[in-house]
Structure 1
Amino acid sequence: MDIKTRLVYTFMKSRIRAIEKSFEEPMETQETQLRLILNEVGKTIYARKFGLDNNCSIRTFQDRCPINDYESLSSYIIDMMQGQKNVLVPGRCDWFAQSSGTTSSRSKYLPVPRKHLQQCHFRGGSDTLWIYLNNRPDSHFFNTKGLVLGGSFKPVNIGLTAKAGDLSSILIEKMPRLGNCIRVPHKKVLLMNEWETKMEAIVQEVKDANVGSLSGVPSWMLVMIKKVLATKGCENLSEVWPNLEVFFHGGINFDPYREIYKELIPSQRMQYMETFNASEGFFGIQDDPSISSMRLMLDYGVFYEFIPFDEVDSEQPSTLTLDKVSLHTPYAMVISTLGGLYRYKIGDLVSFDSLNPYRIKICGRTKCYINAFGEELMVDNAEKAITEVSKLFDTSIIEYTAAPLLMKEKGKGRHEWLIEFDSDMLDKATLHLLESKLDEKLRELNSDYDAKRYKDMTLLPLKITQLPRGTFHQWLERRGKLGGQHKVPRLSNTRNYYDSILKSYQELTQK
């Protein structure tokens, strides 16, 4: 390490020890977090309604507090946005994260009070850095600049003082002094509203900077990287930023992008580090570069529960505390936080690769799968299949969505895919072969899908429609969802997204 990086890291070594200590007695740590949460919620309207106070045991808390989704908390959140105090959190909350977990036209606004911001989101961000430095004695992190790519915020049209935007923009606006010292571009540029104008401004500011780290969503970071390379006239990013050493990424599965990034950043020093930082809270960090799963962080003012996937749609699902979960089983995450979300289903599915310590993988979304014919195809299956098939064809699939098609006249169905490759359009013969290989991989990875495909009895072979590069971004732009943390749903049990993207493409090509 250079002297500056070593000094900062040495100062924060005590936090590394505190992190390790939190894992030694995980349920004790979790009970402490619940106690912190109950101490806060006890001062609110919500607590009085459900009889919650700091004397509640875990069992009492579960018995009294219902499992929530956004709809069940939305009336409370609206009251908070209108300036009412002591609703879901003590006092008043003026900042709200506009959820990017959906591309539907209706936005979700999640409260981000100061205590939650500090205890969860900023602690998670700083812990990511300390854990990274703990693994990288050769780092020069604080001798370079950190390029952050995030969203924007604006006052919402409800209430007098409430502001809302992507969580990333709130983190930028409220970032501690140390982060501001090493970040590029400047806050004024990062928080610009119009995405294309902002991207051009970012490129102009960072193209000659000494960038050592990247932070953002892989899909949007890729757009920025290619613009930088085009501006500089370089073939790879190591020519532009020779001191680049790490990409802190999250939001979408990185595997389909891994080979693209390796080509664009050929440096042997480059490391990729995944984080699980959602609008609702910061939950996981990839603490070991050799292991793809993330350590579930236990002392962020978050109390975790887990619903088995086959009970997600049940009216009274069973909820498991951390000590009751099993390996390699998909669970819907339920969280209680200092941010005013209590027993809240965040919509993410996780599975555990390890129980000592607890390590998780995001394996899908509770509403992002296809089960129209009993095939139970999840995002995890799709991402693995796409990654393997991309290698076979020496290409990269950078955007896709899939949906079921019911063929009533045949009494059967099939999956239809819209795919955008990071290459020129494939010829029909190659695309047909790729369809066959993708179908084959999905059958290998998912026994339910394989059973439905057996002799075409229920499912016919999948079909792919290739779309030109930029089509998915154009669709997001037309919906006012371009940039930041916005992303396309990978799988859906309905054809709403599929048909909307295809229609948008057809309308653009007819102009």
Structure 2
Amino acid sequence: MNLKSLLARPFATYIYNKIRKSMSSAVEDQELILKSLLKSGKGTVFGKDHHLDQVDGYAAFRQAVPIRDYEQFKPYINQIKEGKQNVLWKGKPLYLAKTSGTTSGVKYIPISKESIPNHINTARNALLCYMAETGNTAFAQGKMIFLSGSPELERIADIPTGRLSGIVNHHVPRYLRTNQLPSYETNCIEDWETKLDKIVEETIRQDMTLISGIPPWMQMYFDRLMEKSGKRVGELFPHFHVMVQGGVNFEPYKSKLYNSIGREVDTIELFPASEGFFAFQDSQEAEGLLLNTNSGIFFEFIPAGEIFSDNPTRLSLKDVKVGENYALIINSNAGLWGYNIGDTVKFVSANPYRLVVSGRIKHFISAFGEHVIGEEVENALLQASQEMGVEVTEFTVAPMIQQGAGKSYHEWFVEFENEPSDMRAFIEKIEHNLRNKNVYYDDLISGNILQTLQLRRVRKNGFIDYMRSVGKLGGQNKVPRLSNDRQLADALQRFLV
């Protein structure tokens, strides 16, 4: 064991105990954070517009600050980009995180001096909790790779601006720099496939112990490693034992990733976004991700079915219920107020507050009132795949609306690693699972309003080719599981078997 691994043990134990202690004070911590945010925010342009100096608690806060998405927040962001200070938070942002929105084009999310520790320390805390619980600190002495965006930053109103993963790259602790791959120069390459080839070249002969990224792009990295070496990833990297992932549900990718490695490895799931680092897996034993209740963010929760209502129910942490789907709303020390991040979550525990990400608000199908969500289609497909020994590379679902009773249906686009021996039985299992999950969908099938789902086979690497064709290959880009329109479905027609 080298010095780095040795020193990690007591620090990991210290942070782990601190986090466990804070589990019991989550509600109180949230109340203190709201008070602190109001104190700092009342002198800003936003604070004056919403009379935050007169707000004395959560009930008054709900009345003063409406729920907004990025488009509604844009006028304030534009003031920041024009060089104005004290707009959403005191002074000017430390950074602007540049991210691609599904409906808003490019988004610019402020990161303040006060909020940057939330992004940096949460990832660190996830690793330290893993070390403390498992006793595995050996990976700290090997090489670690973080598949991320370019760390090169431009300036807008003299504010450094770039992808969040690139911004975070500038804050990697010095003691980890010697372990970090790929090189800075390689990380700066914009074209994903060129960058990936260079990453493979730099890492293939290294002692990789930790690999981190979004699952589909980690899979692409593993595929290139195997093509180049003729070996599975676990053979190439015998000391690789920790995989850190987030951004999408891991379950649909897990089987193929483990197959590429040749064995199972420990995984740590994260729930980060440009707007904040919301939750992380603190235990290999417990289900769900621990909500980050003491890190500068005051959370609100709206029952998912009410998110598009004019006056939705808004709940603070103390009023959430286990098993219900909520739209996640944040108020942060970067100056985001009543901000709808677009994700839905479901609590699996309230002591401590652990949750799972259940989908995206805008990723659903409700062409006929069925309101099928991402969690439901993922579970339906996963269950069928496990029962029939099928591996799925990627998939998405869209409605096909046709005139006449019983003619419309849900159209599934699936890329298989290995296809089912009986495709009809496979489709029937998916259909059965989805009907069990969603009573409205079941009623529409039973009532002959919808016919049973139809499945289109996407050719090998079809989703990768599609993402390449729209300039979204690699980085933080993801294929949406569900669309309520035909835009993605129609684009995929040329990538079918």
Aligned to 1:331: 326
What is the DSSP-based 3-state SS (H/G/I as helix, E as strand, rest coil) of the residue aligned with 1:212? Answer: strand
Task: Give, in angstroms, the shift of residue 288 of structure 1.
Answer: 2.0
For the Cα contact (< 8 Å) 2:151–2:165, is it kept in 1? no
Larger mean CA deviation between 357-366 and 108-117 belongs to: 108-117
Task: Give, in angstroms, the shift of residue 411 of structure 1.
Answer: 5.9
Give, as a single letter, the amino acid of the residue that structure 1 aligns with 2:105. R
Aligned to 1:203: 200
Task: Give, in angstroms, the shift of residue 228 of structure 1.
Answer: 1.1
Task: Give, in angstroms, the shift of residue 61 of structure 1.
Answer: 1.9
Aligned to 2:63: 63
Task: Give, in angstroms, the shift of residue 153 of structure 1.
Answer: 5.5
Change (3 A) 1:149 1:420: same
User: After the TM superposition, which residues 424-463 of structure 1 pair with which residues of structure 2 at under 5 Å, given as runs?
Assistant: 426=419, 430-454=422-446, 457-463=448-454
1:291-349 Cα shifts (integer Å, max 9, x gaps): 33111121110001100112111011110011111110100011001122111111111
The reply to whether residue 194 of structure 1 matches residue 195 of structure 2 is no
Task: Give, in angstroms, the shift of residue 155 of structure 1.
Answer: 5.3
Q: Distance in 1 between matches of 2:69 and 2:245?
A: 26
User: Which of 130, 133, 139 does residue 132 from structure 1 map onto?
Assistant: 130
For the Cα contact (< 8 Å) 1:103–1:481, is it kept in 2? no
Q: Distance in 2 between matches of 1:53 and 1:15?
A: 35
Aligned to 1:375: 370
User: Which of 476, 489, 494 does residue 498 from structure 1 map onto?
Assistant: 489
Aligned to 1:15: 15
Q: Distance in 1 between matches of 2:492 and 2:394?
A: 12
The reply to whether residue 51 of structure 1 matches residue 51 of structure 2 is yes
Aligned to 1:465: 456
Q: Distance in 2 between matches of 1:487 and 1:334?
A: 21
For the Cα contact (< 8 Å) 2:209–2:239, is it kept in 1? yes
Task: Give, in angstroms, the shift of residue 103 of structure 1.
Answer: 4.2
For the Cα contact (< 8 Å) 2:93–2:334, is it kept in 1? no
Change (3 A) 1:159 1:285: closer
User: Which of 236, 252, 258 does residue 254 from structure 2 map onto?
Assistant: 258
Unaligned runs of 5+ in 2: none
1:185-235 Cα shifts (integer Å, max 9, x gaps): 12221232111111011110011111111111011001001111221221x
1:222-272 Cα shifts (integer Å, max 9, x gaps): 1001111221221x211111111111110001111111122222346x201
Give, as a single letter, the amino acid of the residue that structure 2 aligns with 1:62. R
Task: Give, in angstroms, the shift of residue 55 of structure 1.
Answer: 6.4
The reply to whether residue 181 of structure 1 matches residue 173 of structure 2 is no
What is the DSSP-based 3-state SS (H/G/I as helix, E as strand, rest coil) of the residue aligned with 1:253? Answer: coil
What is the DSSP-based 3-state SS (H/G/I as helix, E as strand, rest coil) of the residue aligned with 2:92? Answer: coil
Q: Distance in 2 between matches of 1:126 and 1:334?
A: 24
For the Cα contact (< 8 Å) 2:4–2:141, is it kept in 1? yes
Q: Distance in 1 between matches of 2:365 and 2:351?
A: 32
Change (3 A) 1:463 1:262: same
Task: Give, in angstroms, the shift of residue 159 of structure 1.
Answer: 3.6
Change (3 A) 1:317 1:25: same
For the Cα contact (< 8 Å) 2:148–2:213, is it kept in 1? yes
For the Cα contact (< 8 Å) 1:81–1:93, is it kept in 2? no
Give, as a single letter, the amino acid of the residue that structure 2 aligns with 1:433. A
What is the DSSP-based 3-state SS (H/G/I as helix, E as strand, rest coil) of the residue aligned with 1:20? Answer: helix
Q: Distance in 1 between matches of 2:394 and 2:263?
A: 25
Q: Distance in 2 between matches of 1:255 and 1:12?
A: 28
What is the DSSP-based 3-state SS (H/G/I as helix, E as strand, rest coil) of the residue aligned with 1:497? Answer: helix
Q: Distance in 1 between matches of 2:12 and 2:422?
A: 53
Q: Distance in 2 between matches of 1:211 and 1:128?
A: 19
Give, as a single letter, the amino acid of the residue that structure 2 aligns with 1:377. V
Change (3 A) 1:172 1:33: same
Change (3 A) 1:482 1:164: farther
Aligned to 1:389: 384
For the Cα contact (< 8 Å) 1:173–1:187, is it kept in 2? no
Q: Distance in 1 between matches of 2:464 and 2:374?
A: 20
Q: Distance in 1 between matches of 2:485 and 2:82?
A: 35
Aligned to 2:476: 485
What is the DSSP-based 3-state SS (H/G/I as helix, E as strand, rest coil) of the residue aligned with 1:487? Answer: coil
Give, as a single letter, the amino acid of the residue that structure 2 aligns with 1:115. E
Q: Distance in 2 between matches of 1:409 and 1:138?
A: 60
Larger mean CA deviation between 80-89 and 403-412 belongs to: 403-412
Task: Give, in angstroms, the shift of residue 93 of structure 1.
Answer: 2.2
Change (3 A) 1:402 1:197: same
Aligned to 2:220: 223
Change (3 A) 1:413 1:315: same
For the Cα contact (< 8 Å) 1:115–1:338, is it kept in 2? yes
For the Cα contact (< 8 Å) 2:393–2:417, is it kept in 1? yes
For the Cα contact (< 8 Å) 2:210–2:242, is it kept in 1? yes
Change (3 A) 1:138 1:22: closer
Q: Distance in 2 between matches of 1:464 and 1:411?
A: 17
With the length of structure 1 as denominator, give the TM-score of the two structures: 0.92
Aligned to 1:214: 211
Task: Give, in angstroms, the shift of residue 388 of structure 1.
Answer: 1.6
For the Cα contact (< 8 Å) 1:81–1:94, is it kept in 2? no
For the Cα contact (< 8 Å) 1:144–1:182, is it kept in 2? yes
Task: Give, in angstroms, the shift of residue 430 of structure 1.
Answer: 3.5
What is the DSSP-based 3-state SS (H/G/I as helix, E as strand, rest coil) of the residue aligned with 2:97? Answer: strand
Q: Distance in 1 between matches of 2:389 and 2:257?
A: 14
The reply to whether residue 113 of structure 1 matches residue 112 of structure 2 is yes
Task: Give, in angstroms, the shift of residue 108 of structure 1.
Answer: 1.6
Q: Distance in 1 between matches of 2:233 and 2:3?
A: 26
What is the DSSP-based 3-state SS (H/G/I as helix, E as strand, rest coil) of the residue aligned with 2:483? Answer: coil
For the Cα contact (< 8 Å) 1:154–1:163, is it kept in 2? no
What percentage of residue pairs aligned between the two structures are identical?
Answer: 32
Give, as a single letter, the amino acid of the residue that structure 1 aligns with 2:490. D
Q: Distance in 2 between matches of 1:207 and 1:408?
A: 55
Give, as a single letter, the amino acid of the residue that structure 1 aligns with 2:329. V
Change (3 A) 1:105 1:70: closer
Task: Give, in angstroms, the shift of residue 275 of structure 1.
Answer: 1.0
Change (3 A) 1:418 1:468: same
The reply to whether residue 366 of structure 1 matches residue 323 of structure 2 is no
Aligned to 2:396: 401
Q: Distance in 1 between matches of 2:10 and 2:166?
A: 29
What is the DSSP-based 3-state SS (H/G/I as helix, E as strand, rest coil) of the residue aligned with 1:407? Answer: coil
Give, as a single letter, the amino acid of the residue that structure 1 aligns with 2:345. V
Task: Give, in angstroms, the shift of residue 42 of structure 1.
Answer: 2.6
For the Cα contact (< 8 Å) 1:69–1:345, is it kept in 2? yes
1:424-461 Cα shifts (integer Å, max 9, x gaps): xx59x84333222211221222222222211x611101
For the Cα contact (< 8 Å) 2:55–2:64, is it kept in 1? no
Give, as a single letter, the amino acid of the residue that structure 1 aligns with 2:235. E
For the Cα contact (< 8 Å) 1:46–1:87, is it kept in 2? yes
Aligned to 2:148: 150
Larger mean CA deviation between 402-411 and 225-234 belongs to: 402-411
Change (3 A) 1:26 1:69: same
